[in-house]
Chains A and B, each alone.
Chain A
Amino acid sequence: MTKINQHILTCGGTGCRASESKILAARLKEELKDSEISQNVKVVESGCFGFCEKGPIVKILPDNTFYTQVKPKDAKEIVEEHILKGRKVERLLFRDPNTNELIDESKSMGFYKKQIRIATRNCGFIDPENIGEYVAREGYEALGKALFELEPADIIKTVKDSGMRGRGGGGFPTGFKWELTAKSESDKKYVVCNADEGDPGAFMDRSILEGDPHSVLEAMAICGFAVGADEGLIYIRAEYPLAIERLKIAIKQAEDVGVIGDDILGSGFNFNISLKYGAGAFVCGEETALIHSMEGLRGEPTLKPPFPAERGFFDKPTNVNNVETFANIPAIINKGAEWYASVGTEKSKGTKVFALAGKINNVGLIEVPMGTTLREVIFDIGGGIKDGKKFKAVQTGGPSGGCLTEKHLDTPIDFDNLLAIGSMMGSGGMVVLDEDDCMVSMAKFYLEFTVEESCGKCAPCRIGNKRLLETLEKITNGNGTMDDLDLLRIQGGVIKDTSLCGLGQTSPNPILSTLDNFWDEYVEHVEENKCRAGQCKSMLKYVIIEDECVGCTACARVCPTGAITGNKKEVHFITQDLCIKCGACMDKCNFESIELIA
């Protein structure tokens, strides 16, 4: 009897692997080996389930049982109890943080209820290292259809009609890009997949490549056929080792069965795909900089036009699309433009994958239709703010985006709405902030990132952002004036208007949007020298409560800068100029006689 009647899916994404999911999968196989029904159960390492907060995830099918935070040592219990006896292991089930209810199957989890998975349709469902499972899920059907039943122009029309817009951040209509590349005349053209995901906190591209690499390969070949290219390049950062490994396996398998390579499916169409590694520079997500980096030059952007679609990689027409964009393409070809266009809003069709991070209960990867509101994403899917704290803001679009507040929560998310309220879609990072976060510090964090990542080619970005950061530092150090706040706006505006590429044109956004939405907090920093979240160290003050101090000298002995003076059995005193706010005195004091004033 070798019929398989149960599947155990374990998450094989980077996040869960870091929590020993690979060892867990091996342990599960080990435990099963000795049991009488080993022939009937299959253990599959799949891609990311999205629910990274509670990883490693184990899902048992067909009953859809969803186990969270499973450790290798739990393997024995899962096999003995669930697999052999059909009893769910209650302690590993997910407990809803708000209702405290145990939820035994993924379908009833708030996290999954509002999601529609198109780009991530196979993530957490198939084994990414087995092309057979991808083929069984309509894999390479779209490519077959494109090669045998459609003309290149039909494909471009379908993509155009679907309303698909580039998921890398800018939201440029994908079909138009393909059309531009198709129209460029040349003996050689390229299709490039931009897998240089660089926004802090965004990991959707990585998860797609790790969980469903074939969907990207298939889409690149479809694109190649549509625009007349015979070579595909995937520009991926070397710091994504697992994604690279799975891509290599996928390319090898696809070549072996003949869906990538020469004479695909006997159609006479050739398309070869290879990998190019990037060193992880943020600016290389910009398509011209990316192309220069691939050519072996410095990763610096150049002025557009000419667009890569006209003159790109080695001056040949090049079509650059993002990973998530590609992952949608096979579904669009299979199900049609109309189907895709039925999901989403007027001008933004389909779904978007977001990486939820920050002070939120369900950190993870989600895919929702365009037009879902921020409230639904944060409170229904994300499960609300951690530890019952108050929602303060959500940062979207990474270093190019802005901060949105309570009053924006009911805005339907799409490309245009986010731009209108001073943020942007970006690649889909969403960092949720609570009352303990200082907005000035947050803006400073993102600016530090852009200053670090600026390529230095144009002055507004290289020098301007540095000056902007200095002004911000002045404010967080407690030396700011009201004039500095005006200066931030002026500097920000100039950088936006005069920078060469998208990096500089968007880098002041975190500051400008926080100035708009959290003006009071900036004023407090400047006028009252106060940081309400208690994050700006220089505005904190450690003082000794005179009535409580017994003069034990413990604090004076532990102070690294000798800022605390006082004789034995007498009240001590902290010299503020010398204090570096390390807090060592407060930790050491046994009489709770040191307090922190924000």
Chain B
Amino acid sequence: MSKIKSLSDLRKLREELKSSLELRENAESADAVVQVKIGMATSGIASGAREIFNFFAEELPKRRIKAIVTQTGDMGYKYAEPLVMITIPGKDSVVFGEVDIKKADEIIEKYIKEGELVNGVVPKSYQTI
């Protein structure tokens, strides 16, 4: 790190560095941010979930959305993989199936940003405790 010569330089530097801690900061206030879970059991990964995971992990901070992107195990709806579960604060979680990059982009732009449902919702077939 080079020398910081003024207060505004310090503040500029902080803005640059913030992204490195964003993931930890968001996790501290998990209930207040969008949670994205991607089903990444063996079959999920085989059907391309890793690519979708990376897309969300990269795009959400870029689009200035505070979110936690995590991988999770098998969600059960294997017929519709890759699966993405989105939980917007204060709302029930919604699972989207057969997500590809295009769909993921649509989910971010429409559902996460606007709260507008998009095609591909997988109906819930069980309750979790």
Contact = CB atoms under 8 A, between A and B. Distances in A.
Interface stretch (B20-28, B88-96, B99-107, B114-122): B20-28
A137 B18 CA distance: 7
A62 B37 CA distance: 11
B58 interface: yes
A557 interface: no
6 contacts: A5-B53, A63-B27, A63-B68, A125-B28, A132-B1, A258-B4
Contacts of B68: 62-63
Contacts of B18: 136
Interface string A343-373: 0000000000000000000000000000000
A343 B9 CA distance: 33
Nearest to B26: A62
Interface residues of A, number: 40
Contacts of A258: 3-5
A136 B14 contact: yes
Nearest to B67: A62
Interface of A: 1, 3-7, 9, 37, 40, 61-64, 85-87, 107, 125-126, 131-133, 135-141, 144-145, 147-148, 253, 256-259, 265-266
Contacts of A61: 23-24, 27
A63 B18 CA distance: 19
Nearest to A148: B7
Contacts of A3: 54, 57-58
Nearest to B38: A86
A225 to B, nearest CB: 13
Contacts of B5: 258, 265-266
A257 B21 contact: no
Interface in B18-46: 18, 20-21, 23-24, 26-28, 30, 40-42
A126 B2 CA distance: 20
A257 B54 contact: no
B41 A85 contact: yes
A140 B10 contact: yes
B13 A135 contact: yes
Contacts of A147: 7
Interface string B58-84: 100000000011111100000000000
B125 interface: no
A64 B3 contact: no
Contacts of A4: 20, 23
Interface residues of B, number: 36
Contacts of B73: 85-87
B113 interface: no
Given A61-B27, A135-B17, A137-B21, A257 B70 contact: no
Given A9-B24, A85-B42, A131-B1, 11 more contacts: A1-B58, A4-B20, A5-B69, A7-B24, A62-B70, A63-B27, A86-B41, A136-B17, A136-B20, A141-B11, A148-B7
A145 B7 CA distance: 8
B128 interface: no
A14 B28 CA distance: 24
Contacts of B27: 61-64
A595 B120 CA distance: 76
A139 B13 CA distance: 11
B22 to A, nearest CB: 9
A233 B55 CA distance: 49
A115 to B, nearest CB: 13
Nearest to B18: A136
Contacts of B3: 256-258
Nearest to B59: A3
A489 to B, nearest CB: 51
Given A3-B58, A86-B73, A135-B14, A257 B4 contact: yes
Contact of A62 (B20, B23, B72): B23
Contacts of B41: 85-86
B6 interface: yes
Given A64-B27, A86-B70, A148-B7, A132 B40 contact: no
Contacts of A86: 40-41, 70-73
Contact of B21 (A63, A87, A136): A136
A394 B36 CA distance: 45
Contact of A265 (B10, B54, B58): B10
Contact of A40 (B17, B40, B54): B54
Of the candidates B3, B27, B28, B68, the one having the most CB atoms from chain A within 10 angstroms of its own CB is B27
Of the candidates A63, A140, A253, the one having the most CB atoms from chain B within 10 angstroms of its own CB is A63
Contacts of A144: 7, 10-11
A129 B110 CA distance: 41
B70 A63 contact: yes
A85 B23 contact: no
A148 B9 CA distance: 13
Contacts of A148: 7
Nearest to A36: B50
Contacts of B10: 135, 140-141, 144, 259, 265
A258 B73 CA distance: 47
Nearest to A147: B7
A265 B69 CA distance: 37
A132 B20 contact: yes
Contacts of A87: 73
